[in-house]
Structure 1
Amino acid sequence: MFSNLILALAIAAPLATQKDSVSYAFGTFFAKSAHSQLTARDSVNFNLDLYLEAFRIHFRQDTAHYLMKEDAIYKALRNLQHVAQEEKQKLSETLLDKGTTVGYALGAYLGKQVHDQVVARDSVDLDIDIFCQAFEIRFKENSAKYLMSDEEAHAILLDVSKRKDAERRRANDEFLVKNKKAKGIVTTKSGLQYKVIAKGKGATPGHTDIVKVHYTGTLINGKKFDSSFDRGEPLEFKIDAVIPGWTEMLELMKVGEKVMVWIPPELGYGENGRPPKIPGHSVLVFEMELLDTHAP
């Protein structure tokens, strides 16, 4: 049903292709959400043209034209949270920080969000001009110019989600089958796969121990989603308080040991994933080093 809907929309100008329809649907979705949160709920008044310009720049990661760095954007948005409700309607020309406006900060944040979640994470190919066209029309609630209804946009996005989910599941399943045959890989009964990089000589954690671990986590495409190394300090936790794949792996290690481990979705975050960085059905790849273990 959804594929037929996309085809019908694709042949209706100006949405000439499936990419056009998907881009328009995403623009409608994000505009509806932004209108609900910023205008209807918080009564924030801002310059929509500047918002969309900032969106384009930060979506494209056009760093040469950034007017605000990422830390300044988040500072501006935090400041916005503390603006009195009756003052938010006056923010169109108000500076949150030197040389920056509410509209730019909000648009830049959305641009990064859409790039990271829709393009980088889910590999959806968007036409940014059509996205912005849909966003502006839907944000202004100019229903006479709608090229699709909210219901039609939702149906398209649901179809995209289902297809991307199936592609991701297939890719992760194929990866595990291939990886299992690689040299040095050990596969446990649960399906956990690991390879010892450096052997340890210390104690092996018990099921209720507290452990200290240094790690970096990526998806099978190499996209990093977490790293204690980047934070500059290891993580300490009860061994039974994390995902099953971590618990199982750590109970096979000795202090001082370093491994690469591939955790199937059912031993990680399952079909739901852990948005926004970890999609559903993801194999989690960790480089882990067990630094310490002790009783609680």
Structure 2
Amino acid sequence: MKLKLFFVLALAAVVCLPANAQKKAKKTKAKTATTAVETPAAPSIKPVDGKTFSEALGIAQSESLKQYLTSRENIDAAHLAEAMKGMTAEISDEERAKALAYAAGLRIAQINKQNLPYFNKQAAGSMDTTYVDVNTFQNALSKAVLGETCTMTADSAMKVVENQIKYQQEIYKARNLDWLAQNAKLKGVQRLADGLQYRILTEGTGPVADDSTEVEVHYEGSLIDGTVFDSSYKRNKPSTFRPDQVIKGWREALKMMPEGSVWNLYIPYDLAYGERGQGEKIPGFSTLIFKVEVLKVKKEPAKTN
């Protein structure tokens, strides 16, 4: 911001003035015999009074403040006047503290609203369900924070939450295992001893990778409900890695797939991301379905650190 830079440069000039003055004094002293003393020129800029400068300062910062409010504070442009009322309000420190606390509560309500689909996903298995009632949740949260009487203790409440999430995990795990059992019966699906299943879509004829070989692949990964969680096809850019850098199911399959192969992989959770899952997109106990296309198997072993 130019205005901020102006103040920074002004401050730097003030801080550096004594040293510069000393240097100039020394030089002047050395040249007193031959150099005439210069008369300082009058400033060419006309100063303004403090009120005029204060008004100019506010106007100069207005665009930056508007951008901050709309982009960082997510204030709708139609409600900027309300923000300005708060800024210019002449209220006591106590009233201001209460207003700030109220605003914090509004922000927390917004965060709760954003998190609600994830609460539902964990507790009921679906993000678009109405299992978690937001009013009941927030009223209970408010009472507990304020130390008011609640229907259960904090420990017992945590136990209820943990048990419900565990129940949903068991349901999800059983659903994924059943899906694998049914998938194994389909024509063309082959199953290995550790549970990895695959179907060959295109037979490759090129070299096969080992743990130290880099492989260039295109792939798309999804859950059993069809949710796509990753796709190099959508990025329009293949990925390159070694078999020893990926999950167990991939590692095993890549060392079986000749260059040019296209397979569907059906990977049980214990050969993927296990009980914990991976981020928000892959829950624990997830069976992962991949279409994998081996574009190139490099002949030279990959360099390791």
TM-score in terms of structure 1 length:
0.60
C-alpha spacing 1:256/1:164, structure 2 compared with 1 (3 Å): same
Match of 1:130 among 130, 136, 150: 136
Contact residue 255 and residue 292 of structure 1 kept, 8 A:
yes
One-letter code aligned to 2:139: Q
C-alpha spacing 1:214/1:108, structure 2 compared with 1 (3 Å): farther
Deviations 1:6-49 (A, max 9, x none): xxxxxxxxxxxxxxxxxxxxxxxxxxxxxxxxxxxxxxxxxxxx
Q: Partner residue of 2:270?
A: 266
Identity of matched residues, %: 30
One-letter code aligned to 1:130: T
Q: Partner residue of 2:175?
A: 171
Tell me if 1:227 matches 2:221.
Answer: no
CA shift, 1:249, in A, is: 1.1
One-letter code aligned to 1:263: I
Match of 1:236 among 215, 234, 240: 240
What is the rounded CA distance, in whole Å, between the counterparts of 1:230 and 1:109 in structure 2? 30
C-alpha spacing 1:103/1:260, structure 2 compared with 1 (3 Å): farther
C-alpha spacing 1:293/1:114, structure 2 compared with 1 (3 Å): farther
C-alpha spacing 1:269/1:131, structure 2 compared with 1 (3 Å): same
Contact residue 216 and residue 228 of structure 1 kept, 8 A:
yes
Q: Partner residue of 2:120?
A: 118
Consecutive unaligned residues in structure 1, runs of 5 or more: 1-71, 78-88, 94-100
Q: Give RMSD over aligned pairs.
A: 3.1
C-alpha spacing 1:257/1:103, structure 2 compared with 1 (3 Å): farther
Secondary structure (helix, strand or coil) at the match of 1:278 reads coil
What is the rounded CA distance, in whole Å, between the counterparts of 1:251 and 1:110 in structure 2? 46
Q: How does 1:112-261 map to 2 (within 5 A)?
A: 112-116=114-118, 118-119=120-121, 122-123=125-126, 125-138=131-144, 141-261=145-265
Count of residue pairs brought into register by the alignment: 204
C-alpha spacing 1:241/1:151, structure 2 compared with 1 (3 Å): same
Q: How does 1:87-106 map to 2 (within 5 A)?
A: none
CA shift, 1:167, in A, is: 0.9
Consecutive unaligned residues in structure 2, runs of 5 or more: 1-67, 74-95
CA shift, 1:282, in A, is: 1.4
CA shift, 1:268, in A, is: 0.9
Contact residue 119 and residue 132 of structure 2 kept, 8 A:
no
One-letter code aligned to 2:196: L
Q: Partner residue of 2:43?
A: none
C-alpha spacing 1:102/1:146, structure 2 compared with 1 (3 Å): closer
C-alpha spacing 1:243/1:126, structure 2 compared with 1 (3 Å): same
CA shift, 1:205, in A, is: 1.2
What is the rounded CA distance, in whole Å, between the counterparts of 1:274 and 1:280 in structure 2? 7
C-alpha spacing 1:192/1:118, structure 2 compared with 1 (3 Å): same
One-letter code aligned to 1:239: P
What is the rounded CA distance, in whole Å, between the counterparts of 1:199 and 1:191 in structure 2? 22
Contact residue 119 and residue 126 of structure 1 kept, 8 A:
no
What is the rounded CA distance, in whole Å, between the counterparts of 2:189 and 2:216 in structure 1? 24
Higher relative CO (CA 8 A, sep ≥ 6), structure 1 or 2? 1
Contact residue 76 and residue 105 of structure 1 kept, 8 A:
no
Secondary structure (helix, strand or coil) at the match of 2:283 reads coil
Structure showing greater radius of gyration is 2
One-letter code aligned to 1:184: G
C-alpha spacing 1:267/1:133, structure 2 compared with 1 (3 Å): same
CA shift, 1:137, in A, is: 3.6
C-alpha spacing 1:129/1:244, structure 2 compared with 1 (3 Å): same
TM-score in terms of structure 2 length:
0.58
